[in-house]
Structure 1
């Protein structure tokens, strides 16, 4: 349904959806593609690399479509000062209607791939012997593929929610059914796409953080070498804890906002309107930020990135990254390069 928006209010939303969200999306798309290729060269943690690569792909898809459905939409709206461009352009109507469900597919896939990240790391740290069986590379590939297939299948009905006619008008079909809206769009989606996975993430990440901190304190007390393979494994654990934590901190308030406002944005520039805009910014920020996490907290990621960019001398400092550079030269099969058998990912 089209809502008439005052022009001055539309300009304010333009700043949010084009300047803020658009900039985040562009940065996130580039960052996720770079992360995908850099993680692909990190052979020390194949399971972690696979899951984080998968997360980068679905995040990139989500961000590309967010540019279309938020930034491009508002640019067209402001250029026309009304909804004429959106209503009468057949190509735009088709793009808008039939790509919008892919946003939900990407969002749901990102949620459950993040659950796989938390499960795999929880098993590696808290159940290391079982991890070798249940969280092997083959099983994680199969689990990731299953997540993608289930995300697509669950969101297939969304492709039939609206119909585009030859005059570019868009009419609701399924959404006029109150049972469909209540059960599928609200109850089931919030339960299975957000509620259940978020509870799993909070539980696993809390347990993992407690165990990880105990391990770090114990190793500090024993004065273990920070450049040892076990230290590299601890670094992977820290990265994945942070990724999951940021995911929770962004998606939990975003989802609560949408539930509390009943997905009704209200009048233009009202409180519920801007809360919905804030929820969108949180979701886009979460899909854009992982590249920064890897760069800040993962020396091996910086080392590989430096190798790829051909600026090793500038990107690597001797004090923190010499071990990572040595690992790259040794290769993934060197006995001192990858993590220990006990905590293999």
Structure 2
């Protein structure tokens, strides 16, 4: 007996071919509106968002590369931009392109699915845990600034990123053995079906439901929410302290101190915004995963199938949105980032040179992508 495809990643259960569904306990319930809903979600909404996100992530990566290279959060955001781009490419190839009615693509789709299906799990899990690492990085810089010089080093950041990639890839390895190509039902058409591994109920319940839920959702989401609350509380307290010092005339080096504190605040708000978007989007995917798990464990609850399929489409949109929106967040919270984007896209050389000098003279310390240098950490985030 097959246990269907998990609906909490970029791929949803309606992507499985009829050869897979024939042996699945989650029989698709006929809904004349579902094809239209899928087309709207996958092509009308997700495709433009994914294309925008790919270009935005590439532009963000280029801008981040031009920032100070010793900054740890800068490196983490570059890694995030790369992974988000890979997720968006998979989203287009696995979902959107299926519904544009391109016969040549449909002929090779089965091979693309077999290759990219496990990669989506790897990319999404790595994306989530790098977001956690970025939040921890910012938490140390803001809440424990005196420890940041020792803990938040560039070398350690690269090592932890490598560990995350290796661990998430290893955890996702079983996904490479969940589907296989077949031509059993047609002499001219190749499809894909679940392997014996997926037919094993112990594997499905233990790995695909419980372990995946804990590693992908439970632990990282709780960590992100707890750290985010702590960061917001620290920002609020720092703002009150700064206002009190200004009103009492006790703030020395007013311009420099204000710029450093404002820069630190912008860095933190950027990370907080990225985390909030990540949590909201993953909560919807987590809900879909829970509904799917309930269907697997209690097979008489067929009425949940329609809700799950509809929510899976919404979840796919939110996953695409999560990987595409960071460029907008950076522009919204970082004056330096906005300026760098304008400078890159502007053909006016005079504006590029003079404008950059003006910006650097006003906010030399502002770099939204990092925990800043050790000296700036102490002066700008010590509360």
| Bin of the TM-score, shorter chain as denominator length | 0.7 to 0.9
CA deviation after TM superposition for structure 1 residue 45, in Å: 7.1
Work out the CA distance in 2 between the residues paired with 1:331 and 1:14.
Answer: 43
Work out the CA distance in 1 between the residues paired with 2:366 and 2:142.
Answer: 25
Among residues 228, 243, 249, which one is paired with 1:220 in the alignment?
A: 243
Work out the CA distance in 2 between the residues paired with 1:69 and 1:18.
Answer: 12
Q: Which residue of 2 aligns with 1:74?
A: 99
Higher relative contact order (CA 8 A, sep 6+): 2
Q: State the secondary structure of the residue aligned to 1:340.
A: helix
User: Is residue 125 from structure 1 mapped to residue 125 from structure 2 by the alignment?
Assistant: no
CA deviation after TM superposition for structure 1 residue 227, in Å: 5.8
User: Is residue 23 from structure 1 mapped to residue 48 from structure 2 by the alignment?
Assistant: yes
Is the contact made by 2:263 and 2:365 (CA closer than 8 Å) also made in structure 1?
Answer: no
Work out the CA distance in 2 between the residues paired with 1:187 and 1:259.
Answer: 10
Q: State the secondary structure of the residue aligned to 1:155.
A: helix
Is the contact made by 2:141 and 2:377 (CA closer than 8 Å) also made in structure 1?
Answer: no
User: Is residue 290 from structure 1 mapped to residue 329 from structure 2 by the alignment?
Assistant: no
Among residues 271, 279, 285, which one is paired with 1:240 in the alignment?
A: 271
User: Is residue 270 from structure 1 mapped to residue 292 from structure 2 by the alignment?
Assistant: no
Work out the CA distance in 2 between the residues paired with 1:102 and 1:227.
Answer: 45
Note the 1:32-71 alignment, pairs <5 A: 32-43=57-68, 46-71=71-96
Is the contact made by 1:162 and 1:172 (CA closer than 8 Å) also made in structure 2?
Answer: yes
CA deviation after TM superposition for structure 1 residue 61, in Å: 0.4
Is the contact made by 2:259 and 2:363 (CA closer than 8 Å) also made in structure 1?
Answer: no
Q: Which residue of 2 aligns with 1:203?
A: 226
Q: Which residue of 1 aligns with 2:261?
A: 230
Which digits, 9 at most, give the CA deviation of each residue in 1:58-88, with x for residues without a partner?
1110010011111012224xx67xxx985xx
Structure 1 spans left out of the alignment, 5+ residues: none
Structure 2 spans left out of the alignment, 5+ residues: 1-15, 19-27, 184-188, 247-253, 297-301
Q: Which residue of 2 aligns with 1:254?
A: 285
**Residues 237 and 324 (structure 1 numbering): CA distance in 2 closer, same or farther, change over 3 Å?**
farther
Q: CA RMSD in A?
A: 3.4
Q: Which residue of 2 aligns with 1:106?
A: 123
Q: Which residue of 1 aligns with 2:249?
A: none
Q: Which residue of 1 aligns with 2:4?
A: none
CA deviation after TM superposition for structure 1 residue 249, in Å: 1.5
Q: Which residue of 1 aligns with 2:176?
A: 159
Is the contact made by 1:128 and 1:343 (CA closer than 8 Å) also made in structure 2?
Answer: no
Among residues 200, 210, 220, which one is paired with 1:177 in the alignment?
A: 200
Work out the CA distance in 2 between the residues paired with 1:257 and 1:207.
Answer: 28
Is the contact made by 1:267 and 1:273 (CA closer than 8 Å) also made in structure 2?
Answer: no
Is the contact made by 1:164 and 1:170 (CA closer than 8 Å) also made in structure 2?
Answer: yes
Deviates more, 1:59-68 or 1:258-267: 258-267
Aligned residues between the structures: 331
Work out the CA distance in 2 between the residues paired with 1:307 and 1:85.
Answer: 39
- Structure 1 consecutive aligned stretches of length 4 or more whose deviation exceeds 2 Å: 1-9, 220-227, 260-272, 310-315, 321-332
Q: Which residue of 2 aligns with 1:2?
A: 17
Q: State the secondary structure of the residue aligned to 1:170.
A: strand
**Residues 85 and 295 (structure 1 numbering): CA distance in 2 closer, same or farther, change over 3 Å?**
closer
Work out the CA distance in 2 between the residues paired with 1:330 and 1:286.
Answer: 29
Q: State the secondary structure of the residue aligned to 1:43.
A: coil
Work out the CA distance in 1 between the residues paired with 2:177 and 2:379.
Answer: 46
Is the contact made by 2:291 and 2:308 (CA closer than 8 Å) also made in structure 1?
Answer: no
Q: Which has the larger radius of gyration?
A: 2
**Residues 292 and 273 (structure 1 numbering): CA distance in 2 closer, same or farther, change over 3 Å?**
same
Is the contact made by 1:304 and 1:328 (CA closer than 8 Å) also made in structure 2?
Answer: no
Which digits, 9 at most, give the CA deviation of each residue in 1:223-250, with x for residues without a partner?
3548623321221111111111111121
Provide the TM-score with structure 1 as the length reference. 0.85
